[in-house]
Amino acid sequence: MGIPINPEEMDVLYMFIDLDGTGEIEYHEFIRRLRRSGVNVRKKEDELLFTLYRAIQDAGLSLKNAFDAFDTNTDNIISKEDMKEVLDEMKVAYNKEAVDYIFKIADTSGDN
């Protein structure tokens, strides 16, 4: 990036960002630290994606288990209605634009 930094400064910076002390900077740590520093790094619609990602990780769900949790009518398709139902059950705040954004990204066939 072209920012001159010495090894000691790098160590301090790394410790500042590595919130859980694992020796690795995970995406959520990086984003959290940037946000605490006043940097807005995501679109508003990305907040719902990040919330869902954290909830899936915190619950220890595999991708298949997470998919099944959102497929409320077990038709092997997650519809917008399925997603809204689960979000309501999880008491996760969302708006139509955020759900539309997720489907724009994830629904590669464009059928939902």
User: What percentage of the chain exceeds 70 in pLDDT?
Assistant: 93
Of all residues in the chain, what percent carry a pLDDT higher than 90?
Answer: 22
For the stretch 9-62, pLDDT in tens is 888 877 778 888 888 888 878 877 777 776 666 677 788 888 888 888 888 988
Q: What is the pLDDT of residue 39?
A: 67
Please tell me whether residue 58 adopts helix, strand or coil conformation.
helix
Percent of the chain as helix, strand, coil, to the nearest 5: 60, 0, 40
- How far is residue 65's CA from residue 52's CA, in Å, rounded to a whole number? 13
Evaluate if residue 85 carries a pLDDT over 90: yes
Q: What pLDDT was estimated at residue 2?
A: 65
Measure the CA–CA gap between 95 and 112, rounded to whole angstroms. Answer: 17
What's the predicted TM-score (pTM) here?
Answer: 0.57
